Amino acid sequence: MQKEEHPNRHKRQVVQGADMVLNEDQRWSLVDLLAKQTISAGTYKQTVWDVIGELTVKPLTGIPVAFAVLYAFWSVFGSFAGALCTDGFFVKFFDNHFLPWMQAIWPDPNSILYFLFVGDPLADNCFEAFGVLTSGLFIAIGVVLPAVLIFYLMMAILEDSGYLPRLAVLVDTLLHKMGLHGYAIVPTILGLGCNVPAITATRILETKKQRFIMMTLLAIFVPCGAQLGIMLEVIPESVGYVMLFLLIGYVVFGYLLSKIVPGTNPEILIDVPPYHMPQRANITKKLWMRTSGFIINAVPFVLLGVLFINLLYIGGVIQWLSDVFAPVFVHWFGVPKETAGPLIAAFLRKDLAVAQLSNIEMTQYQMISAVVLISIYFPCVATFVVMLKEGWKELLAAVGVLFAVAFIYGGIIHAIGILLGVA
Amino acid sequence: MNTEHNTAQIYIAALGLVTMILGLVDILVWIGFTGGIEFGIMGIAGDDFFRWAWGGLVVFLGGALMLSGCRNVGNIQEFSKVLLGAALVWTIAACDIFAMICENIPAGEEAPEFLNSFAGFVGGFAPPYAPAVILLPFTLVIAYFFYAWGFADES
Amino acid sequence: MSKKAAKILLVGNPNVGKSVIFNRLTGSDAVVSNYPGTTVDYTEGTFISGKQEYTVIDVPGAYSLEARDKAEEVAVRMLHEHRDATVVVVLDATRIERGLYIALETIEMGRSVLIALNMIDMAHDRKISVDDRKLQKLLGVPVVPLTAITGEGIMQLSDMIRKAQASDVKDILARAEGRASEPAQASGCAGC
């Protein structure tokens, strides 16, 4: 019976040595013989959970469920990270207590050290100050940590319940048009938490072509949890549009890449495991591992990133870059030339870059364009390193695609803005 | 089918229909047919795409699922659709309630203290409520059917 | 028994619970999720059973030993790099057939094999019964039923590892077709 369940049995090179005794068909018929003699299935009465398991895979009933799951994901994310932690507690703590205290105790507001670590002496909130210990700590702990924590919690529940493979079945048709298959949804959703594990997860895809497309799309169009968290804080009213632009880009460029990139995109039968009640011990373990990983890896990056950018400001590098690239920014992308600074920050940490954007004077549409640009133009340095591990040729190709896409798509978004009369 | 199932079918059909209508109203208010509306303890602000257009769509689809399975609720296939439809409404309602909890724990933005007073916390749960929250007690009846009719039993 | 750590490879289809078994045996923190393909690279850990130290390698899930994706490539590579290792093939008791395929491939390589029949509880819930003694007789390698997620049967598994043995697929075929009644190496497996 199970021959069909074995995906892609044809035209594959057999790698192992000459140990094999049977060919594939003989082996499958032996499996059938063994199974017949050892397995007996009693009459099994279907439970409601089994039926619901099937309903969540069928498009007509499954798509509503997917809508509800994504709604819940985003809603809980916003309520917990935004309303409760950041707005409810951390903004007040950092702006009313920590920032004035730092400004009071750090000596000499005109010194370079003051500029680096505390930032603007007149700032009354932690986004504007932009010092290592003010904005850096606020972004890392006040904004991004709660976002990452709640994201990983929901991610772990989705993973352990067994819903992800069902989502994979649902989106399989769409993803096939993009040269991928349903399982590409797993790295995509992981990437919404952090692109680093997502890049590693692309290995569950079958061919080089699929892995390359997935990796490139991840690096370009999938914003990470840290970036989502800061967007929710800085531009809550525009997050939807940014996500829309990224989603459109993901689909359109996925389709184009599948036409351009050589290689195959074989059908694969998706293995759907049964629903499980997530086990609390496993959830807490994963949550702890990932969150502590974030604290150890990302927090120093945010702080160093602020320091680095402040040094570049002092050295006049950012001013220089802004002037050099001003024509591109202003005329092609339609954003202020000061966007150069955040674009450099984006290489270190995307969350930092978005936070920095919030201090630049611009219209809502320019803000949306700039945030989209920051998302797509280059992966953060940690993602860059894991991509390098997957192969430098792929990385170079991905970076090439990336610049082309950022340039073209940035221009298109500007053009859409002009057509809509909002740019 | 026994009379309990018959009564239940009428109940679920009516509930499904009302749920669909309320979900549709959520979306229509967001599109801008009227401004935000309030009706007794029910309020539809319709100001935010995510909550009202997307959330309204989920409520609408939940109602549609309930309606699609109501003709033969004793059947496990059909009942599962009804249960799934109810679960969609529960999802939206649970998110609304969770949002209220999260918003009411901290004190207001201007207040100097961090935590809300107890009275302030409780006061935050005053009406108006979104349609999904109002539908919650009515749809929980379906969870009762789930246990009462033996669907929850191990086979 | 040698004092040197003996090697064990955990092999099987994706999402049959190899990482759960790995964590149970070694007390490690390998990431476990309910979807196929969680382990894309191998993980190593150690444990001691009967005064023998074992190094366990959690191999990514594979449907066969034809390196079709990166995970299967890793699986094939691990099998070749550790020629002296005992192979524990993990089967999902609710869908044995597809796991048996890779089990046969491993046996055909002449490896010393032990079958871990995981998710027995789930099979029981689904009214599927698997005759593990019959399977053991037919295959000529030890078969241990267990439920890794709760830890049931893990001790038996670690005790049985030293009884893992090679089998000949021609004999298996003969027994399965009813041409030979007794397993050729049954003596070596008498205690299991």
The strand ranges marked E within A106-195 are none
Distance CA C79, CA C60 (A): 11
Mean pLDDT for the stretch of residues C4-23: 88
Those residues whose C-beta lies under 8 Å from the C-beta of residue B4, and which sit 6 or more positions away, are none
Q: Is the pLDDT of residue A268 over 70?
A: no
Q: Is the pLDDT of residue A10 over 60?
A: no
Chains sharing 3 or more CB pairs under 8 A with chain A: B, C
Mean pLDDT for the stretch of residues C33-39: 68
CB pair distance less than 8 Å for B61 and A64: yes
Whether A276 is covered by a domain: the verdict is yes
Secondary structure string (H, E, C) spanning C22-54: HHHHHCCCCCCCCCCCCCCCCEEEEEEECCEEE
Sole residue written with tokens 């009459």 = A43
Name the more confident of C4 and C133.
C133
Whether A106 is covered by a domain: the verdict is yes
What integer pLDDT is reported at residue C71 of this predicted model?
A: 76
> Which residue in A has a C-alpha nearest to residue B100's C-alpha?
A79
In what helix (H) or strand (E) does residue A213 lie, and over which residues does it extend?
Answer: helix A208-221
Distance CA B15, CA A14 (A): 58
Per-residue pLDDT reduced to its tens digit, B66-112 = 999 988 888 899 999 999 999 999 999 999 999 999 999 998 878 88
Whether A269 is covered by a domain: the verdict is yes
- Nearest one of A340, A375, A366 to A418, comparing CA atoms: A366
> Which residue in B has a C-alpha nearest to residue A65's C-alpha?
B88
Q: Pick A37's closest partner by Cβ from C138, C149, C169.
A: C138
Distance CA C154, CA C160 (A): 10
Distance CA A285, CA A283 (A): 5
Sole residue written with tokens 């309520």 = A79
Distance CA A397, CA A260 (A): 12
What integer pLDDT is reported at residue C181 of this predicted model?
A: 60
Chains sharing 3 or more CB pairs under 8 A with chain C: A
Question: In a mutagenesis test of the A interface, which of C21, C35, C72 is the best target, namely the one with the most A β-carbons within 10 Å?
Answer: C35
Flag whether the pTM goes above 0.95.
no
- Mean pLDDT taken over chain C: 84
Name the more confident of A410 and A18.
A410
Using omega within 30 degrees of 0 as the cis cutoff, is the peptide bond preceding B128 cis? yes
CB pair distance less than 8 Å for B109 and A92: yes
For helices A163-177 and A145-161, what crossing angle results, to 10°?
Answer: 100
For residue A141, give the amino acid letter.
I
In this prediction, the answer to ipTM > 0.95 reads: no
Q: Pick C127's closest partner by Cβ from A35, A38, A42.
A: A42
Per-residue pLDDT reduced to its tens digit, A322-363 = 888 888 888 898 888 888 888 878 877 888 888 888 888 888
Cβ atoms of residues A349 and A222 within 8 Å: no
Mean pLDDT for the stretch of residues A367-385: 85
Q: Where are the domains of chain B?
A: 3-148
Residue C36 pLDDT level (bands cut at 50, 70, 90): low
Residue C29 pLDDT level (bands cut at 50, 70, 90): low
Q: Which residues pair with B69 in a beta bridge?
A: none
Mean pLDDT for the stretch of residues A86-91: 91
Q: Which residues pair with C52 in a beta bridge?
A: C49
DSSP result, C38-106: ---S-EEEEEEETTEEEEEEEPPP-SSSS--SHHHHHHHHHHHH-TT-EEEEEEETTSHHHHHHHHHHH
Question: In a mutagenesis test of the A interface, which of C16, C20, C69 is the best target, namely the one with the most A β-carbons within 10 Å?
Answer: C69
- Nearest one of A348, A373, A347 to A360, comparing CA atoms: A373
Distance CA A275, CA A48 (A): 12
Q: Where are the domains of chain C?
A: 6-189
Q: Is B145 on the interface with A (CB under 8 A)?
A: no
What integer pLDDT is reported at residue B87 of this predicted model?
A: 96
For helices A59-77 and A48-55, what crossing angle results, to 10°?
Answer: 90
Pairing of strands C86-92, C113-118: parallel
Whether A50 is covered by a domain: the verdict is no
Parent domain of A177: 59-420
What integer pLDDT is reported at residue C37 of this predicted model?
A: 65
Share of chain C residues as helix, strand and coil, in percent rounded to the nearest 5? 35, 20, 40
Of the spans A176-180, B50-54, B147-151, which averages the highest pLDDT? B50-54
CB pair distance less than 8 Å for B80 and A48: yes
Cβ atoms of residues C98 and C125 within 8 Å: no
Cβ atoms of residues A127 and A135 within 8 Å: yes
Which residues of A are less than 8 Å from C73 in CB distance? Answer: 15
Name the more confident of A200 and B117.
B117
Q: Which structure tokens are listed for A79? A: 């309520």
Residue A323, judged by CB atoms within 10 A of its CB (0-12, 13-18, 19+), counts as exposed
- Domains in chain A, number: 1
For residue A355, give the amino acid letter.
A
Mean pLDDT for the stretch of residues A85-102: 92
CB pair distance less than 8 Å for A186 and C37: yes
> Which residue in B has a C-alpha nearest to residue A71's C-alpha?
B55
Q: Is C180 on the interface with A (CB under 8 A)?
A: no
Residue A245, judged by CB atoms within 10 A of its CB (0-12, 13-18, 19+), counts as buried
Alpha helices in A80-130 (DSSP H): 91-92, 99-105, 112-117, 126-129
Q: Which residues pair with C7 in a beta bridge?
A: C55
Name all contacts of A113-121 with Cβ < 8 Å and 24+ positions apart. A115/A310, A115/A314, A116/A307, A116/A310, A116/A311, A116/A314, A119/A310
Sole residue written with tokens 């459109």 = A248
Number of alpha helices (DSSP H) and beta strands (DSSP E) in chain C: 7, 7
What integer pLDDT is reported at residue A71 of this predicted model?
A: 93
Q: Is the pLDDT of residue A6 over 50?
A: no
Which residues of B are less than 8 Å from A76 in CB distance? Answer: 95, 98
Per-residue pLDDT reduced to its tens digit, A255-265 = 998 888 888 77
In the CATH scheme, what architecture does the domain C6-189 have?
3-Layer(aba) Sandwich (3.40)
> Which residue in A has a C-alpha nearest to residue B84's C-alpha?
A52
Per-residue pLDDT reduced to its tens digit, A196-212 = 888 888 877 878 888 88
Distance CA A230, CA C49 (A): 50
What integer pLDDT is reported at residue C192 of this predicted model?
A: 47
